[in-house]
Amino acid sequence: MIGATSLLLLCFINLSASQMAAVRGRAYLFRAQNNNNAPFMLAGMVDFRQDSLNLVVNGSVRGLTPNGLHGFHVHTIGDIGNNCTAAAGHYNPFGRNHGAPALMFPTIRHVGDLGNIQADGAGVATISGTFRGVGLVGPFSIIGRTLIVHAMRDDLGLGNDQGSRTTGNAGARFACGIIGLLQVTNIVLKTLLTAMPNWLHNNW
């Protein structure tokens, strides 16, 4: 049986470094709200760039608790409705417990676990980080899923309770946005699709 690490590496096996660098994503984040028919208030923007096995993430979010830490996760479903709860739980295709992004994959963490972002005194978080075990390409791509910023700090799975093992006790969903494909060359798109097993094509 092929392991989770091997599956992730297969995502990249046919892509050169330059091809992967051409794959970029972006999420416009909107404040969580109950009324899906009302205008959504923009809270920030986050860009993603595939760099070999790394995912480079840059952006900013405003309106946060000044000087606070806020959970930062990729959730399973691409839907920002109903106070961002329509996005369901953390993206977790391997059924792991919640953890920290610094942990080597596939130990205790979700694919969508990106840790915390830090707001400054004005409530603005500037995001600049590099992550492993999560990416824009392959069968476990985060394209089309929802990026969520939470109202509270993520405890990184270190709490001794069920909430810590599932959500990091990061509290309500403050803002969310669907991660869209920003740039990709035709040759990269063809490689991505042809490298995927048939059962994955049906869920791409």
Catalytic, 79? Answer no
pLDDT tens by residue, 91-118: 999 999 999 997 655 568 999 999 999 9
Catalytic, 73? Answer yes
Residue in 70, 75, 96, 109 annotated catalytic = 75
Catalytic, 110? Answer yes
Residue in 90, 109, 145, 153 annotated catalytic = 90
> Which is it for strands 54-61 and 125-132: parallel, antiparallel or unpaired?
antiparallel
CA dihedral 116, 118, 119, 124 (to 10 degrees): -80
Residue in 31, 70, 98, 109 annotated catalytic = 98
Catalytic, 201? Answer no
Record the pTM.
0.81
pLDDT for position 16: 53
Residue in 109, 113, 154, 155 annotated catalytic = 113
> What's the Rg (C-alpha) of the chain?
16
Mean pLDDT score, 180-188: 68
CATH of domain 4-201: 2.60.40.200
The number of residues in the chain equals 204
The two structure tokens encoding residue 79: 């839907």
pLDDT tens by residue, 3-14: 444 444 444 444
pLDDT for position 179: 98
Domain ranges for the chain:
4-201
Task: Please determine, for residue 19, whether its predicted confidence score (pLDDT) is greater than 80.
Answer: no
Residue in 70, 73, 109, 153 annotated catalytic = 73
Catalytic, 70? Answer no
pLDDT for position 5: 41
Do residues 22 and 48 make contact, with C-beta atoms less than 8 angstroms apart? Answer: no
